[in-house]
Structure 1
Amino acid sequence: MATLARETLAFDDRHVTWRTIDGFEHAAYHILSVDEKARIVDLLFQFKANERIALHRHGAAYRTLVLQGELRIYRPDGTLQEVRPVGSYVAGQAGGEPHTEGGGDQDVIVYFTNREIDGPVYEILDANLSVQATFGIPEFKALLAAQTDAGA
């Protein structure tokens, strides 16, 4: 018997101030912490329903926990690779196949903890898999400072 995707309970984000980065469509973030000494960045991502974020590759080990909706992961050619429903916890290593991600029929909210950071956390790629931008500890520290300065 086929199962139908259902909307999950909404994550209460009344105390989360979502921020965006110009040029990065369909995604918002809220940085929880940047620990340079321990080489860890913790943050929340919100990806829009039925949309995809930029093609990227993970440059650090990570763990994710889906808090709302379902996280859909797509291969570089656009085919659906995996669906992670609410409550899914995944531990991954640095590297791996470039991919895009997005929400299912509902905005998805995912907790990401990036660990063992030694360089870029994320490499943003173009269609030819060339690196267009990187986000590492310095960039996340700057984003956290701006978030804090804005009162979030």
Structure 2
Amino acid sequence: MNPLLFDRAIAWQTLENIAHLQYAILDIDRQNRIIDVLFKFAAQAQIVLHRHKVLNHMLVIQGEHRLYEADGSLKEIRPVGRYTVSPASDEPHREGGGDEDAIVFFSIRGSDGVLYEILDDDLNGVATLSMQDFIDLHSRRMQ
């Protein structure tokens, strides 16, 4: 399948030390603590182990969004059009694309603190992504 036409029009960015992932922040609503972002997960690859620390609403708009257990085993496949509401969870997981890159719309909600905790393979916290981190990334992009 060919990538969607809008994919080429998106100014994709990368996060340092997070392979197989690109992002495009669409909007940040500071007052209501909501971040709308597109994530692109590379085909046949898994991103870093992490935990979602806040509510996430997700819509798969291209490819298959694959979720993996901490040990790397496949947990779930979300096809194009699947809308999911996922509460905060301490369960670590990885995400990735299927046979093609997956593009997923995320609406990250409800906190001005830590949104994601990045883990090493031994489940130790090594970094976080916060509301302020996303604000800073978005501000740099807009300059």
TM over 0.5: yes
Displacement of 1:124 in angstroms is 0.5
The farther-off stretch of 83-92 and 13-22 is: 13-22
Instruction: State the identity %.
Output: 44
2:126 equivalent in structure 1? 132
| Corresponding residue to 1:103 among 90, 97, 103 | 97
Q: Which runs of 5+ in 1 are unaligned?
A: 1-6
Alignment match of 1:112 (pick from 103, 106, 110)? 106
Match of 1:3 in 2: none
Root-mean-square deviation over aligned CA pairs: 1.4
Letter paired with 2:84: V
Q: Deviations over 1:69-107 (max 9, x none)?
A: 000100001110000000000001011411000000000
Gaps of 5+ in 2: none
- When Rg is computed on C-alpha atoms for both structures, the one with the higher figure is 1
Of 64, 70, 79 in structure 2, the residue corresponding to residue 76 of structure 1 is 70
Count of residues in correspondence between the two structures: 143
Letter in 1 for 2:50: H
SS at match of 1:13: helix
Among 8, 17, 28, which residue is 1:14 paired with?
8
The residue number in structure 1 matching 2:115 is: 121
User: Of residues 121, 137, 140 in structure 2, which corresponds to 1:143?
Assistant: 137
